[in-house]
Structure 1
Amino acid sequence: MRKIFLIALMLASTSPAYAWGPVGHRITGAIADDNLSGVARANVRLLLGNEDLAEAATWPDDMKSSPDPFWQKTASPWHYVTVRGDDYKASDAPPEGDAMTALTHFTRMLRNPETSVEDKRLALRFIVHIIGDLHQPLHDGAGTDRGGNTVEVTWFGKPTNLHSVWDSKLIEQRSLSYSEYAHWLSRSITPQEVIAWDQRDPTVWIHESISLRKTIYPSDPALSWDYAYQHRAQVDDRLKRAGIRIASYLNWVFENPAPAGPSRQ
């Protein structure tokens, strides 16, 4: 029995990092959908057709199973940042890139009027996903524990790691569908919060996540109701902010396209 437990714990600790699970990403996408401007909504519809932002939000994670080298190697570092201090600096980006460099790259692609529709669709899906990623505190790590993946804990008695708890287990513990959860959160967002969170600077999002990340490491690895109660409001806050900021960012992108021509880069 102990051998089975250790194997399961090892597998959980070495699983790949996904910032928010599918439910979390869909929640941020659904909130964003409700806050798009008319111009942004029309552009999203032109690119994605009937696919909404809730569906688009999970696509970069869905594609991680593709054997294509782009997904297995090139895009792998684009879901997180590693920050040694309290604020992200350009020097924090490794040669292979990170979520910040990817966000910059895809923003340029999406704003460029000469980018193909297919590439714009790719860029849009990544932007929605990356903004959600940067609001998950363990995807703004210090480079010491793989974003909490090597922090072994139990969740209601079952072996896992801290990253998985924040990706999905705290959200799934509410037993709500993504649409129910998004509706609940959207109803609680005040006009004052929409104005205050209308912040398109990713370094602000990262700073917030780092500040939160420092408070979420448990002293007792046996996590259950107490831990869920202590951090539920924080999870909800990060999901709400991510949704509002996805919308704000896309509103800006689509209302401020880059000029055509050689100088656009």
Structure 2
Amino acid sequence: MTHRSILLAAAAILCLPSSALAWGQLGHRTIGELADERISGKTRAEIELILGEEDLAEASTWADEQRSNPDAFWQKEAGPYHYVTVPESKTYGEVGAPAEGDALSALARFAATVRDRNASREEKALALRFIIHIVGDVHQPLHAGNGTDRGGNDVKVRWFGQETNLHSVWDSQMIEGQGLSFTEYTKWLGRQIEPAETIAWWEPNPEVWIGESTQIRDTIYPEASEGMPNLGYSYQYQHLATAELRLQQGGVRLAAYLDWLFAPNTGATQ
């Protein structure tokens, strides 16, 4: 199958909107696997005490898989925990979390649960799985939305001729069009990460990640045109490297955050 055929087939399969599913399974699992290769031995042991044999790649998609769970937590509370809203020319520190919470407030809440000696293993497992997912979420630029278009869901586009929306292009269609499994993508992206980049990216503060996402977000909207923008090879050429960079950074940051989370005497939570 040619590269173009792979892209077209993926677009046909993935053309339906995924209103708040950052990266899809491929992206989240790639971030989880990249992190799994970089966490400390102590962190790995702490995670095993909570999740058993479940690795970070497997845990990374759980929070999306629970969206159909009829429990009130999933149906009435957890939705906003997948994204933040930062209007253009603002920072997260200036706007903060809304009353219903967001990804960053949830991250702090779940970190506290993981560290709570009185929390049950079940409570810690939910919290840890959500942490793994949230770190990936906020590295997707459209999960730091501007508050005007539901993180690009309202921006209708065609991707290689198939009707979809900008959010879905970034969640899944652009990276899944490469025709790689998450283990292949992890190997491909992981070997490109230089030691100096790991050091530079080793940042457990989520406000830094969100600031990066908002800066990228404002550069990825297609130019205004009559009718629905038709995105394809040119858009991919301009932005695929950025999407892959965010996967790489997400993997490094997830490792950094988990090492921070399980470090003794860490201090104030992020």
> 1:145 corresponds to which residue?
149
CA distance in structure 2 between the aligned counterparts of 1:188 and 1:86, rounded to whole angstroms? 32
Is the contact made by 2:19 and 2:168 (CA closer than 8 Å) also made in structure 1?
no
Cα deviation, residue 110, structure 1: 1.0
SS at match of 1:159: strand
> 1:6 corresponds to which residue?
none
CA distance in structure 2 between the aligned counterparts of 1:211 and 1:143, rounded to whole angstroms? 15
CA distance in structure 1 between the aligned counterparts of 2:116 and 2:195, rounded to whole angstroms? 32
Cα deviation, residue 92, structure 1: 3.0
> 1:217 corresponds to which residue?
221
- Provide, for residues 17-71 of structure 1, a one-character-per-residue CA deviation record: whole Å limited to 9, x for no partner: 1111111000000000000101001111121111110010000000001122211
> 1:7 corresponds to which residue?
none
Q: Pairwise mapping of residues 56-135 of structure 1 onto structure 2 (< 5 A)?
A: 56-84=59-87, 85-89=89-93, 91-135=95-139
5+ long unaligned stretches in structure 1? 1-10
Match of residue 27, structure 2, among 24, 28, 48: 24
Q: Pairwise mapping of residues 1-265 of structure 1 onto structure 2 (< 5 A)?
A: 12=16, 15-84=18-87, 85-89=89-93, 91-219=95-223, 221-256=229-264
CA distance in structure 2 between the aligned counterparts of 1:147 and 1:179, rounded to whole angstroms? 28
CA distance in structure 1 between the aligned counterparts of 2:264 and 2:245, rounded to whole angstroms? 28
What do you get for the CA RMSD once the two structures are aligned? Answer: 1.8
Return the TM-score normalized by structure 2: 0.89
Is the contact made by 1:111 and 1:256 (CA closer than 8 Å) also made in structure 2?
no
- Provide, for residues 149-207 of structure 1, a one-character-per-residue CA deviation record: whole Å limited to 9, x for no partner: 00000011000000000000011010000110011111011110110001111111001
The runs of at least 4 aligned residues of structure 1 exceeding 2 Å deviation read: 89-92, 256-259
Cα deviation, residue 90, structure 1: 6.6
> 1:5 corresponds to which residue?
none
Greater CA drift, 208-217 or 68-77: 68-77
Is the contact made by 2:260 and 2:266 (CA closer than 8 Å) also made in structure 1?
no
SS at match of 2:180: coil
CA distance in structure 1 between the aligned counterparts of 2:21 and 2:250, rounded to whole angstroms? 16
Is the contact made by 2:25 and 2:61 (CA closer than 8 Å) also made in structure 1?
yes
CA distance in structure 2 between the aligned counterparts of 1:210 and 1:112, rounded to whole angstroms? 32
The letter of the residue matching 2:62 is: W
Aligned residues: 250
The letter of the residue matching 1:69 is: A
Is the contact made by 2:19 and 2:167 (CA closer than 8 Å) also made in structure 1?
no
Return the TM-score normalized by structure 1: 0.90
CA distance in structure 2 between the aligned counterparts of 1:18 and 1:251, rounded to whole angstroms? 25
The letter of the residue matching 2:150 is: R
Is the contact made by 1:111 and 1:257 (CA closer than 8 Å) also made in structure 2?
no
SS at match of 1:195: helix
SS at match of 2:163: strand
- Provide, for residues 56-99 of structure 1, a one-character-per-residue CA deviation record: whole Å limited to 9, x for no partner: 00000000011222111110100000112431027431111000
Residues 115 and 137 (structure 1), Cα distance of their counterparts in 2 relative to 1, 3 Å cut? same
Is the contact made by 1:64 and 1:72 (CA closer than 8 Å) also made in structure 2?
yes
CA distance in structure 1 between the aligned counterparts of 2:263 and 2:118, rounded to whole angstroms? 16
